[in-house]
Chain A
Amino acid sequence: MRKTRLFPALLMVAAGLAAAVPATAGERGGDKEAFARGARVWSENCTRCHNLRDPREFRDDQWRPIIAHMRVRGGLTGAEARDVLTFMQNAN
């Protein structure tokens, strides 16, 4: 009896988690393509001027202004910048 009651409760917690962090959950599960495209943008564009930087170097929030900065520097399109940000934030 305890098991059957606890299970829905755990499901509720999981649902709560998913609802509270939709961005991460959505990007991870829903937009695998953005991640793959971002990985390509990273390996093909981020070596044009300097050595390739590791996604693990910075936290998710730090990558936002850095990628914005590099978008201006390197003439990345908005779509490329969003994809590479998705990649950096999920590969770190």
Chain B
Amino acid sequence: MPRQATHRRLPALVAAAGLAALCAAPATAAEGEAALRAELEALKRRISELERRLAEQQEAQQRVEKLEREVKEVAKTHSEWKDAESVLHVAGYAAVGYTDAEGADGSFNVANFNPIFHFLYDDKVLWEAELEFEVLDDGSTKTNLEYTTLDWFVTDNVTLVGGKFLSPAGFFIQNLHPAWINKLPSKPAGFGEEQAAPESDLGLEVRGGVNIGNPWKLTYAFYVANGPSAEGELGGGEIERIEAEAKASDEDGDKVYGGRVSVLPRPGLEIGVSAVTGKLMVEDGTSEDKGRDYDLVGADFSLVRGNLDARAEYVRQRIGARAGSLWPDEAEWKAWYAQLAWKFRPTRFEGVVRYSDYDSPHAAEDQRQWALGLNYLLAPNAVAKVAYELNDGQSGQPTDDDRFLLQFAYGF
């Protein structure tokens, strides 16, 4: 370094200056000698002072270099975390619950754990998958692959999704069913397993959002998938139910097509419509009836503003009639609900009231329900819920029993 070189030369320069001073003849020998000595001492002191400073500076320089190396290392580690091309993240939710129904003994009947895995590559491709582990009545554990999809962000407005996904038709199943999101411990009547709202499907989906003139926004999700199948009464008769869990096979070879479009006229207000059409197969394990008409229509609404969270949704699935079939009649499953929730700020309490109505081809399954709930929000994603359901179904059926429910849910 030139700076250091100058400093090394300094003592030499000082010595040379001293010599030059010596050569200049003094007035008297003694006087001259004393003066010279004093000057020499002064010079020595200056030299050692300069040497001390030089050493200090070198030390400081080393410290700065060490600091630079450390800063680089820290910065690298930081950016490795933040900017690594691939990121793995585990999210999910868990819930525990207790239910006491009129016709049965109270029991702790909910214990589930749903881990969700995300793997993101360079903000271009996301793999998302949710597993569900649930303790059943008999003590066994049910495992279910709720969804597994590869999402490819094609453009700012188009994402291509392939795999097993939650049904893009409707709102509750896709977006509100996780326990930490659902404001009541139970699902609305008709939105449970194999009822009016389809759960999942296996296929391809194109989805995204577009800003259509400030503040209007539009979201869409269109899909093609294997579609559901239906179970018919053994040996013929009525169609029992639609099996709305995705299947990795499509026995009838006919796909279903459909999706949902929603508009947001302003933030917090959303109106969506859903439709699906296709064919499905009805079977009873021994006989089958392929190519039956299948369709779904749905509508949903939500208004979230300040302390208010208001929602409503309607869904109807139908299998068309076919003369000569073992299961000739048309069958229709429909359900709707309306829910109001209010946060009592500044406390952590939230009150909820929901009405739901489920209408199936089988009177024993039909249900009308009022549900009242009070929630305590430990955090936005951790909630303790207590609720009471007033159920009205066919008398003697579990659908007619009122229920008291407790639940604690946490989404992480």
B180 located at the interface, meaning its Cβ lies under 8 Å from any Cβ of chain A in the complex: yes
Contact B219 A74 (CB under 8 A): yes
Q: CA of A89 to CA of B79 in the docked complex: distance in angstroms?
A: 13
Whether A62 touches B89, Cβ cut-off 8 Å, given contacts A2-B60, A21-B79, A77-B211, is yes
- Chain A contacts for B75, CB-based, 8 A: 17, 20-21
Say yes or no: B302 contacts A48, CB within 8 Å: yes
- B14 lies within 8 A of chain A by Cβ: no
Interchain CA distance A17-B72 in the complex, whole Å: 7
B181 touches A75 (CB 8 A): no
Shortest A90–chain B CB gap in Å is 12
Interface string of A30-47 (1 = CB under 8 A from B): 000000000000001101
Most buried by A among B81, B157, B209: B209
**Across the interface, which residues of A come within 8 angstroms of B60, CB to CB?**
2, 5-6, 9
Residues of A with C-beta under 8 A to B267: 44-45
Residues of B within 8 A of A57 (CB): 381
Contact, CB under 8 Å: B176 / A49: yes
Whether a CB of chain A sits under 8 angstroms from the CB of B395 is no
Known: A20-B79, A50-B181, A72-B126. A65 touches B118 (CB 8 A): yes
- Cβ-defined contact, B126 with A79, below 8 A: no
Residues on B with beta carbons closer than 8 Å to the beta carbon of A65: 87-89, 118-120, 126
- The reply to whether B380 and A49 form a contact with Cβ atoms under 8 Å apart is no
Contact for A16 among B56, B71, B155, B221, CB less than 8 A? B71
Do the beta carbons of B118 and A69 come within 8 Å of each other?
yes
Of the candidate stretches B61-69, B100-108, B226-234, B237-245, the one touching chain A is B61-69
Q: Which of B384-412 contact A (CB under 8 A)?
A: 411
Q: Chain B residues with Cβ under 8 A from A13's Cβ?
A: 64, 67-68, 71
Q: Chain B residues near A20 (CB, 8 Å)? A: 71-72, 75-76, 79
B376 within 8 A of A: no
Residues of A within 8 A of B126 (CB): 65, 68-69, 72
| B194 vs chain A, min Cβ distance (A) | 24
Question: Are the CB atoms of B268 and A78 closer together than 8 Å?
Answer: no
B57 / chain A contacts, CB cutoff of 8 Å: 2, 5
Write the nearest CB–CB distance from A56 to chain B, whole angstroms: 12
Measured in the bound complex, the distance between the Cα atoms of B264 and A48 in whole Å is: 10
In the bound assembly, the distance between CA atoms of A70 and B338 in angstroms comes to 25
A53 to B181, CA, bound (A): 12
Our pick among A49, A59, A62 for the contact of B175 (Cβ within 8 Å) is: A49
Give, as a whole number of angstroms, the nearest-CB distance from B84 to chain A: 7
Please pick, from A9, A21, A53, A69, the residue contacting B380 in the complex, using a CB distance under 8 A: A53
**B207 near A: Cβ within 8 Å?**
yes
Q: How far is the CB of B16 from chain A (nearest CB, A)?
A: 22
Known: A17-B71, A20-B72, A60-B81. 19 other contacts (CB 8 A): A21-B78, A47-B268, A50-B380, A52-B380, A64-B123, A65-B87, A65-B89, A68-B118, A68-B151, A69-B118, A71-B153, A71-B159, A73-B174, A75-B209, A77-B156, A77-B208, A79-B156, A80-B209, A89-B82
Residues of A at under 8 Å CB distance from B?
1-2, 5-6, 9-10, 12-13, 16-17, 20-21, 23-24, 44-45, 47-54, 57, 59-62, 64-66, 68-69, 71-80, 89
Instruction: List the 5 closest pairs (A to B, CB-CB), nearest first.
Output: A75-B219, A78-B156, A75-B209, A20-B75, A44-B267
Can you sample 10 A-B contacts with CB below 8 Å?
A2-B57, A13-B64, A49-B175, A50-B381, A50-B411, A61-B84, A72-B161, A75-B208, A75-B220, A78-B153
